[in-house]
Amino acid sequence: MKDRYLDFVNSPFGTSIARSLGLPRPEVLRRHRADRAEFGGMAAIGAGPSPALFDDLMGALSSIGMTSIAHESASGWLPVAARHGAMSGRFEPRARDASASDRVEALIFDATGVDESAQLHSLYAFFHDALRSLAKNGRIVVIGRPPATRASVPAATAQHALEGMTRSLGKEARNRITSNLLRVADGADIESALRFFLSPRSAYVSGQVVTIETPAAAPESWSKPLAGKRALVTGAARGIGASIAAVLAERGAIVTGLDVAAARDALDQTMLSIEDASPSGGAHAALFADIAAPEAPADIAAALAASGGVDIVVHNAGITRDKTIARMSPEMWDSVIDINLLAQARIDDALLARNVLREPGRIVAVSSISGIAGNRGQTNYATSKAGVIGRVHAMAPLLRARGITINAVAPGFIETHMTGRMPFGVREAGRRLNSMGQGGLPVDVAETVAWLASPGSAGITGNVVRVCGQSLIGA
Ligand code: NAI
């Protein structure tokens, strides 16, 4: 589904009309493009007392090729940068009318040492100075600690407070700027998450809090982190699933796309175009199954076992059968709970019981912000999607010992068939009521899934990452 308003106000004619009428003019988000450098420019670094992650941060920024400049709050930064042999300098806040070339691409704040709430002033000081210096499509990343790992109540309180700061910055910054909080446990690695949140791949992910628990090995190649991995994507014929399959393949994975037999033509077409874009010598495969069928888990496990197993499972297939509960038939209720929730559990059980999901595996389940906020006419859908989140939370500790992670992505309004069928008013509200003023694209969900599925994300499990442009619904 195309967002015609967004296209119009970004056309030469539409821009002047919108300006003269004072209409809101959301601009198209900068997304990843193969022909454009993923990173570049400067990152301004700020810090609270005793920042613990300077070394990790410097290592990651040097490796991705960003120049760092230190705010006065990050007094220890310059020696760290010198030790790494990195380009670095001093941050000078820019005036409101500074030119575009004066701006920084990212603001990063190391708040790991903040252990009581009075010290939160250091965030005020940094962002008060620096926010105006951030370029359009810029990135804000605040780095803290998981509150539950702090030894004192004041420290846990202050670390939790970072959430409100980060989310508010996302709402205040505008200009397609995203703002996210990484809670990094002692010894955990930040590079995979930092790369994702600093890059255009996270264009529609803002206001999120991600916990990183443990170290992770760096992939052999950051551009093809999924090389050598096999992935299953359900509901891959179209929409978000087709995009997930394409992005996983582009990142190096060999993909089995699954859909119902009735979607044969669409799935074949999707897999063909993936093969053209990311040649695998024919190893990308289409698999036809109704995930709700009783025989599906065993059939899927057998098909994947025949090619040596699978490393990444993406539960994307889902349906809506909307009606207010008084008017909802039992079939509408049962089919949504079964396809969106129970089928995911049955498939995982079959793959885990037979060790078809290889260690260290990745499971990514597609939920929805409906499952967080609830939605009129969607008791069945919201229940199923909240259940997906519940299952991720409950399964994560059980799978930790096997090195398997399980996370959920919760899309907001994404331009697909599903949202194309919404009544006009509901569709427009869904599109505009978020910090980006526009709907997301399937690729925004797909990039988030690919990041969670990558080896560098080994320390991330039991998380729910919303891909919603910081939707006001369920905020
Ligand atoms: P879509 O309707 O365009 O595609 C869903 C795909 O799943 C279709 O190809 C369909 O044939 C397949 N599928 C449905 N039932 C199946 C079954 N029993 N067995 C095998 N395949 C089956 O939907 P869209 O928009 O791409 O959504 C994908 C996922 O994202 C769903 O889980 C949906 O709930 C979720 N989502 C979508 C949002 C959006 O704005 N489009 C927002 C939030 C969540």
pLDDT single digits (tens) 55-103? 999 999 999 999 999 999 998 999 998 888 888 888 888 766 666 677 9
Report the CATH fold assignment for 39-212: Rossmann fold (3.40.50)
Q: Do domains 39-212 and 230-467 have the same CATH topology?
A: yes
Say what the alpha-carbon torsion angle 306, 308, 313, 317 is, to the nearest 10 degrees. Answer: -20
Q: How far apart are the first and last CA of the chain?
A: 25
Q: For residues 197 and 451, what is the distance between their CA atoms, to the nearest angstrom?
A: 10
Residue 384 neighbours by CB under 8 Å, 6+ apart: 318, 336, 337, 339, 340, 341, 371
Q: How many angstroms does the Cα of residue 318 sit away from the middle of ligand 1?
A: 4
Q: For residues 102 and 91, what is the distance between their CA atoms, to the nearest angstrom?
A: 11
Going by C-alpha positions, the residue among 151, 211, 157 that lies closest to residue 184 is 211
Task: Determine which of 14-23, 330-339, 344-353, 432-441 has the lowest per-residue pLDDT on average.
Answer: 14-23
Site to substitute for ligand 1 among 1, 205, 240, most atoms within 8 A of C-beta: 240
When pLDDT is cut at 50, 70 and 90, the band that residue 410 belongs to is very high
Task: Determine which of 179-188, 251-260, 304-313, 422-431 has the lowest per-residue pLDDT on average.
Answer: 422-431
Closest residue by Cα to atom 37, ligand 1, is: 411
Q: Work out whether strand 310-315 and strand 285-288 pair parallel, antiparallel, or are unpaired.
A: unpaired
Site to substitute for ligand 1 among 418, 445, 465, 468, most atoms within 8 A of C-beta: 418
- What atom in ligand 1 is closest to the CA of residue 414? 40
160 pLDDT higher than 80: yes
When pLDDT is cut at 50, 70 and 90, the band that residue 475 belongs to is low
Amino acid identity for residue 386 in this structure: A
Report the CATH fold assignment for 230-467: Rossmann fold (3.40.50)
Sequence spans of domains, the chain = 39-212, 230-467
Scanning 374-473, the segments in alpha helix (DSSP H) are 379-400, 417-420, 424-432, 442-452
Q: Which helix (H) or strand (E) holds 123?
A: helix 121-130
Residue for token pair 């990343």: 141
What is the structure's pLDDT at 27?
Answer: 84
Q: In what order do the strands lie in the sheet with 178-184?
A: 88-90, 67-70, 42-47, 104-110, 134-144, 178-184, 209-212
Residue 102 is classified by DSSP as G
Going by C-alpha positions, the residue among 467, 447, 463, 387 that lies closest to residue 213 is 463
Closest residue by Cα to atom 8, ligand 1, is: 235
Mean pLDDT for the stretch of residues 12-23: 67
Alpha carbon of 71 to those of 28, 47, 75: distances in Å? 30, 8, 7
What is the structure's pLDDT at 97?
Answer: 62
Q: Which residue has the higher pLDDT, 250 or 3?
A: 250
Structural Rg of the chain based on CA atoms: 22
Residue for token pair 């760092």: 68
What is the structure's pLDDT at 121?
Answer: 97
Q: Which residues line ligand 1 (CB under 6 A)?
A: 234-235, 237-241, 259-260, 263, 290-292, 316-319, 339, 366, 368, 411, 413-414, 416-419
Closest residue by Cα to atom 27, ligand 1, is: 240
